[in-house]
């Protein structure tokens, strides 16, 4: 005759197994992170949204010994001025260093004149540039001419590097919630926004460009003749690239 204690233990084993199995299955839920009742959005695109706002675009031009623009600085300046003409708002500000050593005063002045001449050549109106100055902190260091203007740019609405919740073990409920930290994804969003050439592309798509009517007429004519309208690309040695790709 079995004892009551042994009967009770053997009867609770199946119940305990069911509870453990239910716990394991609950931990495998795919939507666990979305149903934890987070205090902030789980999706990084909602947590760190990209917005459009006016911001400064700046370029430093360092004067050379004889006060001219070397090829590298001329190329940088041309691209900067073209961007100003296309996207700039307001005036183009040219700040000249004030308080440099007497040996650099001449090159700084000649570099400023070269910048204004190039701006006029590219099409910046005479009244579109304002001349200012800024005090240098150390006359012994290189002091550039600073160009800046306002334009619309894409950026992250929040400041990256914020950690409102401890990542350690101080809050067990937060540590076991299977949620991303607040700063997660902020740097990725910021880098993506900085790489966008035209911020308006994030708001709407671009209209279709003009069609190549000559190419379209040729392709339609080939189709009517039962010929393949695709381009037959060839490499050196008269190798047909199309057939080589199809053969692979």
In a domain, 81, yes or no: yes
pLDDT digits (tens, 9 = 90+) for 183-226: 999 999 999 999 998 899 999 988 888 888 998 999 999 999 99
3-state secondary structure of 113: helix
By the 8 A CB rule, do 73 and 62 touch? yes
Lowest mean per-residue pLDDT among 40-44, 163-167, 183-187: 163-167
135 part of a folded domain: yes
DSSP string covering 125-166: -GGGEEEEEEE-S-TTS--PEEEEEEEEEEEESSPTT---S-
* 111 within a domain of the structure (yes/no): yes
High-pLDDT (> 90) share of the chain, %: 40
Pairing between strand 129-135 and 234-235?
A: unpaired
pTM of the predicted model over 0.75 = no
Domain of residue 225: give its range: 213-247
- Note whether residue 190 is domain-resident: no
The CATH number of the domain holding residue 78 is 3.30.1330.60
Residue 90 lies in a domain: yes
pLDDT per residue over 55-97, tens digit each? 899 999 998 767 688 899 999 999 999 999 999 988 999 999 9
Is the model's pLDDT at 18 over the cut of 90? no
Provide CB contacts within 8 A for 101, sequence distance 6+: 139, 140
Same-domain check for residues 55 and 145: yes
Residue 205 located in a structural domain:
no
- CA–CA separation, 88 vs 29, rounded Å? 51
Overall average pLDDT of the 131-139 stretch: 90
Residues in the chain: 248
pLDDT at position 237 is 61
| Domain count for the chain | 2
3-state DSSP call for residue 217? helix
CA dihedral 94→96→97→103, nearest 10 degrees, is 140
Q: 202: which residues sit within 8 A by CB, 6+ positions away?
A: 50, 52, 154, 196
Average pLDDT over residues 2-18: 52
DSSP state, 70? Answer: -
The answer to the question of residue 199 being in a domain is no
Residue 9's pLDDT band, with cuts at 50, 70 and 90, is: very low
């Amino acid at each position: 005759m079995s004892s009551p204690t042994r009967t009770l233990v053997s009867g609770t084993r199946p119940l305990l197994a069911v509870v453990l199995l239910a716990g394991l299955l609950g931990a495998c839920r795919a939507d666990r992170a979305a149903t934890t009742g987070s205090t902030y959005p789980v999706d990084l695109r909602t947590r760190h949204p990209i917005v459009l706002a006016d911001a400064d675009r700046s370029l430093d031009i360092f004067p050379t010994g004889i006060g001219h623009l070397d090829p590298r600085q001329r190329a940088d300046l041309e691209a900067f001025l073209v961007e100003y003409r296309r996207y700039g708002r307001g005036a183009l500000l040219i700040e000249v260093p004030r308080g440099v050593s007497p040996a650099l005063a001449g090159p700084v002045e000649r570099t400023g004149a070269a910048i204004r001449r190039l701006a006029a050549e590219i099409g910046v109106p005479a009244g579109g540039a304002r001349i200012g100055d800024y005090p240098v902190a150390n006359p012994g260091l290189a002091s550039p001419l600073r160009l800046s203007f306002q334009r619309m740019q894409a950026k992250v609405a929040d400041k990256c590097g914020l950690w409102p919740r401890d990542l350690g073990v101080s809050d067990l409920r937060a540590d076991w919630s299977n949620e991303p930290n607040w700063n997660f994804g902020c740097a990725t969003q910021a880098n993506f926004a900085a790489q966008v050439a035209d911020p308006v592309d994030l708001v709407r798509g671009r209209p279709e460009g003009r069609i190549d009517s000559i190419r379209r007429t040729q392709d339609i004519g080939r189709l009517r003749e039962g010929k393949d309208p695709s381009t037959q690309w060839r490499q050196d040695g008269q190798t047909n690239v199309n057939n080589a790709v199809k053969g692979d």
